[in-house]
Amino acid sequence: MIQGTNPIYSAPKSLGLTEAFKKLQNIVYVGTHLDETAKMANLIASEHHSLENWGDAEVQKGVLSLQQPTIEPLNKTRSFEDSLLSWAQLAEKTSGGLSGETWYSYLENRWKNIYSQNRGQSLASGDFAEFWFKIKQEGVFNISTGRNSDSAARNFNLAALSTIKKSKASDYEFVSYETVGLRDGSLANVSWLQEFSDPVSRISWDNYLCVSPKTASKENLKDGQVVVFKVGDTEKELPVFIQPGQHDNVLAVAIGYGRTAAGKVANGVGVAIMDLASTDQNYFVHSGMPVTIKKTNKFIPLANVQGHNYMEGRQIVVESTLEQFKKAPDKVVHRHKIMSMWDKIEYKTYKWAMSIDLNSCTGCGTCTIACQSENNIPTVGKKYLLQGREMTWMRIDRYYVGNPEDPDTVYQPMACMHCDNAPCETVCPVAATTHSEEGINEMTYNRCVGTRYCANNCPYKVRRFNWFSYTNLQSPLHMVLNPEVTVRHRGVMEKCTFCVHRIKSKKIEAIAQAREFRAKDVKTACQQSCPADAIVFGDMNDPESEVSKEFQDVRNYSLLEELNTVPALRYKYKVRNSEQLKGGDHHGHDSQSKGGEHS
């Protein structure tokens, strides 16, 4: 019986699992998808998705959590636990205490025990019914005695790391890695994750053989050139990607691709890598094997949304050394003298603004997915990404700083700047993009005729155009859509709205509760999801608001300030704890940053 794992896809080929499976008489597969392993099974018990199921967990010692279903099961499925219970009951008709139990009642009983052991503590102050109600509301029952390093529920096996041997048989060492988006590939059929552009390479919809620039020139390899590489006895073909900053002797490939039975989206995307692992003293070794490569003359274009890798001496992502920051924090950003032909806009009610701290941002891209799910942003696929048809409202620009052999990497989350003097607003012939009284640059979809002039005139290039109709999602995929946000028609422009629907719903909530609206209640989707709390959003009219304080900060600057767009999204420059910046002084025009890649 197999549940919750997909060994036919993920286990090393040398294990011979496929052959072994064929010899088995009965394989029962419990899972949510008809994946590679399920296809080998003769009995499949389709189970609930975790969002449809009950469960519990102990995240840390003493931190108990209850998992509740958030949706009625979409299909006729049964939870794995219910399956186990009913099979057990069938097996031993005599009922060993399990008769008549469902997974829910079993779980409730278990929490009755927890309740009786911890009666009186925090949530367990009243009777069980009250406790059960409260735990369902809160989700967490904390009876830990304080946090310490070894209080994890399970131990990490450090010994596993020490057994990796360094290879000497070849010039190159093979490394396989998980990408931030796809991880092990179990969720590869989610198109959001496939289209998620890798924080470093910024490529989506493929895995590729990463080589360092030096190795690429030594082996005479070009971006996208297909190579055959051999690990152990297995040969595989992948396009090359030249990755600045990579070790010269390492060839790296992401795992999680090359699914054959994940579904419409993931099947055939990239090449499976996990089966290359060798088995060594009961461990799977995924990295460190010797690898040899052979060039071919084929090319596979890689969908890279980063147009150019270097800032070309422009003031885009500003960095400072710690020393420089301590000495003269106000001298780091080159501030421009600005003469304006525009009147200053007065905002009588609220003035929404956002500040992003480049010091905190790690470029993980969680905000981009949060935005995608919040705002019904479609994915377009590799073919259209290659044509420059990405739809993301929030994206993270990545630049290299300094020598391509060993560059620093900087990130800049980019969304609509909601400029006070918005270049897009003046050029729209039908006034479909206008300034709201609260400082938000609003896009009126049903007024837009799609001249795309606004996008041309946007210096930040954050506007996205519906090149095709992306609205006809088949059931049940339509359930992925957020009902609060309009689905956009073919031929109209769209872009970040500062989550204006969230502002509206908080205002409605305030009216319903007959109280004053609090600007600080509003959190944008990107802000909410940012694990580093790099994004601050709020009302600029309130001098006490967090964002007002951020804007007063010495590190705060506007991107392309010299254009006098007066953006409402501003950045706080990055301070590096190093003696020198790899790119040199910022407003000096660094000569090193010329050798970037052009798409």
Partner 1 sequence: MIKREPLIWGKKTYKDITDDICSLVENFPGVPYFITLLTANGVFAFYLCVLAAIVLTGMGLMGVNSPVGWGTDIVTFVFWIGIGHAGTLISAILFLFRQKWRMSIARSAEAMTVFAVMTAGLFPILHTGRPWLAYWLLPYPNQRGPLWVNFRSPLIWDVFAVSTYATVSIVFWYVGLVPDLATIRDRAKNIWRKKIYGILSLGWRGTGRNWNHYEMVYMLLAGLSTPLVLSVHSIVSFDFAVAQLPGWHTTIFPPYFVAGAIFSGFGMVVTLMVIIREVVPLYKHYVTLNHMENMNKIIMSTGMMVGYAYGSEFFIAWYSGSSYEQYAFVNRAFGPYWWAYWIMVSCNVFIPQLFWFKKVRRCIPAMFVISIFVNIGMWFERYVITVTSLHRDFLPANWGMFKMTFYDIGAVVGSFGMFFTFFLLYIRTLPGISMAEVKPVLNVSREEGDKINVLA
- Which residues of the chain form contacts with partner 1 (CB under 8 A)? 306-314, 316, 384, 387-390, 397-399, 412, 414, 423, 426-431, 447-453, 455-457, 459-461, 463-469, 489-493, 559-560, 563, 589, 596, 598-599
Three-state secondary structure readout of 264-285: CCCCCCCCCCHHHCEEECCEEE
- Residue closer to partner 1 (CB basis): 427 or 510: 427
In terms of DSSP bridges, do strands 535-539 and 303-304 run parallel, antiparallel, or are they unpaired? unpaired
In whole angstroms, the minimum distance from the beta carbon of 567 to partner 1 comes to 13
In whole angstroms, the minimum distance from the beta carbon of 319 to partner 1 comes to 16
> Around Cβ 70, how many Cβ atoms within 10 Å?
10
Q: How far is CA 352 from CA 527, 540, 570, in A?
A: 14, 6, 12
Two structure tokens written together for 450? 């799609």
In whole angstroms, the minimum distance from the beta carbon of 200 to partner 1 comes to 13
Q: How far apart are the first and last CA of the chain?
A: 49
In whole angstroms, the minimum distance from the beta carbon of 573 to partner 1 comes to 16
- Cα 375 to Cα 453: distance, rounded to the nearest angstrom: 23
In whole angstroms, the minimum distance from the beta carbon of 310 to partner 1 comes to 6
- Cα 424 to Cα 41: distance, rounded to the nearest angstrom: 57
- Residue closer to partner 1 (CB basis): 451 or 556: 451
- Residue closer to partner 1 (CB basis): 229 or 465: 465
In whole angstroms, the minimum distance from the beta carbon of 53 to partner 1 comes to 40
- Residue closer to partner 1 (CB basis): 47 or 195: 195
Q: Computed from CA positions of residues 230, 232, 233, 236, in that sequence, does the dihedral angle turn out positive or negative?
A: negative
In whole angstroms, the minimum distance from the beta carbon of 252 to partner 1 comes to 23
In whole angstroms, the minimum distance from the beta carbon of 427 to partner 1 comes to 5
- Residue closer to partner 1 (CB basis): 446 or 577: 446
- Cα 172 to Cα 175: distance, rounded to the nearest angstrom: 10
Q: How far is CA 44 from CA 53, 227, 420, in A?
A: 18, 39, 58
- Residue closer to partner 1 (CB basis): 493 or 534: 493
- Cα 225 to Cα 239: distance, rounded to the nearest angstrom: 5
Select from 287, 146, 296, 291 the least CA-distant residue to 222: 296
Q: Would you call 275 helix, strand, or coil by DSSP?
A: helix
Select from 219, 229, 218 the least CA-distant residue to 207: 229
- Residue closer to partner 1 (CB basis): 189 or 421: 421
In whole angstroms, the minimum distance from the beta carbon of 452 to partner 1 comes to 4
Please report the DSSP string for 218-243 in residue order: HHT--TTEEEEEEETTEEEEEEEEE-
Is 10 within 8 Å of 188 (Cβ atoms)?
no
- Residue closer to partner 1 (CB basis): 6 or 466: 466
For residue 543, whether the previous peptide bond is cis, meaning omega lies within 30 degrees of 0, is: no
Count how many Cα atoms sit within 13 Å of the Cα of residue 304 in the half-sphere of its side chain.
22
- Residue closer to partner 1 (CB basis): 316 or 510: 316
Two structure tokens written together for 492? 């109209």
Return the residue matching tokens 């301590």.
326
In whole angstroms, the minimum distance from the beta carbon of 320 to partner 1 comes to 20
In whole angstroms, the minimum distance from the beta carbon of 412 to partner 1 comes to 8
Is 76 within 8 Å of 47 (Cβ atoms)?
no
- Residue closer to partner 1 (CB basis): 219 or 597: 597
- Residue closer to partner 1 (CB basis): 36 or 397: 397
Cα angle 296, 179, 495 (rounded to 5 degrees) comes to 105
